[in-house]
Amino acid sequence: MSSNALVQLALTATGYSQKELSLKLGVSPTQVSKWKKGDYISFEMEGRLRELAQIGDLDPDVVVSAGSLEAAKKWQRLIAFLANFALEGAETGYTTVPLQDELDLLIGATVSILKEIGAPIPPAYPRDIDLNFDDAWEDEATDCALLDAIEANPYSRTILAIFRALNDVYGFYAAYLCELFDREELGLMETPAENIEPGLIELAATKVDVDKDFAPHFGRFRAKIRADYEKWICLVKDKAFQAGVPLRAELLNLVYDSSDALSHKAEAESLGFNAGRIHPDIYMNELLVGMRVIHQVLPAILKKLGIDEEFKLDPSELSLGDFPRPEDD
């Protein structure tokens, strides 16, 4: 939340000057100036400013971006409808918690993504998606008209595509990553890897096909998000390797696989189809453990046999020699 946006909305709604606002709140004008520069604002003061601004629980940045409180409420209704619609269509076998939006974070995250890809929401709410969602699912003709309108508008179409991709991204996360954060031996908490879950909606946005004319900064956004996630996931893999915790999938698939591929992997996991499969990382871990055992045991055996000083390894004996090669088949 931007303290600057909240202060501006409170000033606009009340008509106060900055000095009058400070007197109303019982703080110094300097403190109000600090808030306008983005300084931390206490929970109590945030509540009082929200009351003065009359925005309820809405994200003040969204209200400022939307141009008015009424427009922000329309965006909120649209995003809530699209989130529920996408959630009902999830096929991964896992519940997409971010789309349930119990903390009212979805609208702020969505508007922020649109801004980052170069498609900030317009100052006036689009008329073509000023729809009555209360009548949804009443009859087939109304539903078709509503969904056609959503698909025709670039904002609602893109938001719905992001939410659908979030189903798949979150499903893979729930299947293969979530439990790793509960493993104390990995020590993932309070590391940059903590950013993985809260940023999943941004990663989902990178999976969407977006018109470059509509979102000119999309390529730059995708490169940044992918680079961040690659670092975070490599950190998880390193921690897992060091702790000897096997992974059940290639975690970097989360970054580079398509939404459909992630959905199939998550669904297979939720249905138990992968129960008998072992990820190559497990084999590699077993090989390394075996090599370490040999490295410790073999010298002791050679010494016990009294041949430790005379034994010389002949590298030529390690080649394929007369054994059949693949190309000989």
Q: What is the pLDDT of residues 212-259, one digit of tens each?
A: 999 999 999 999 999 999 999 999 999 999 998 988 899 999 999 999
Looking at the structure, give the CATH architecture of the domain made up of residues 1-56.
Orthogonal Bundle (1.10)
Tokens 């076998």 locate to 93
Would you place residue 308 in the very low, low, confident or very high pLDDT band (cuts 50, 70, 90)?
confident
**Using CA atoms, how far apart are residues 77 and 80, in angstroms rounded to an integer?**
5
Looking at mean pLDDT, say which of 157-161, 187-191, 240-244 comes out highest: 157-161
Residues 61-69, mean pLDDT to the nearest whole number: 92
Look at residue 328 and tell me whether its pLDDT is greater than 50.
no
Q: Domain boundaries in the chain?
A: 1-56, 62-270, 285-321
Q: Which DSSP string do the residues of 165-188 spell out, in sequence order?
A: HHHHHHHHHHHHTGGGGG-GGG--
Which residues are within 8 A (CB) of 171 and not within 5 positions of it... i.e. 6 or more apart? 90, 92, 93, 94, 96, 262, 263, 266, 267, 270
CA–CA gap between residue 84 and residue 152 (Å, rounded): 19
Split at pLDDT 50, 70, 90, the class of 87 is very high
pLDDT value of position 120: 95
**Quick check: 188 and 180 in contact, CB under 8 A?**
yes
pLDDT category, 108, cuts 50, 70, 90? very high
Provide the terminal-to-terminal Cα distance of the chain, rounded to the nearest Å: 66
Task: Tell me how far apart the alpha carbons of residues 255 and 234 are, in angstroms, rounded to a whole number.
Answer: 11
Please provide the DSSP assignment of 232-260 as one string: HHHHHHHHHHHHT---SS-TTHHHHS-HH
Would you say residue 1 has pLDDT above 70? no
Higher-pLDDT residue of 69, 297: 69
pLDDT of residue 312: 77
Average pLDDT of 118-143?
Answer: 84
Instruction: Report how far residue 293's alpha carbon sits from residue 41's, in angstroms, rounded to the nearest whole number.
Output: 57
Query: Which of the four pLDDT bands, split at 50, 70 and 90, describes residue 319?
Result: low
Q: How confident is the model at residue 329 (pLDDT cuts 50, 70, 90)?
A: very low
Q: What is the mean pLDDT of the chain?
A: 88
At 97 the pLDDT is: 96
Please say if the pLDDT value at position 286 is more than 80. Answer: no
Mean pLDDT of 28-40: 91
pLDDT mean over 174-178: 96
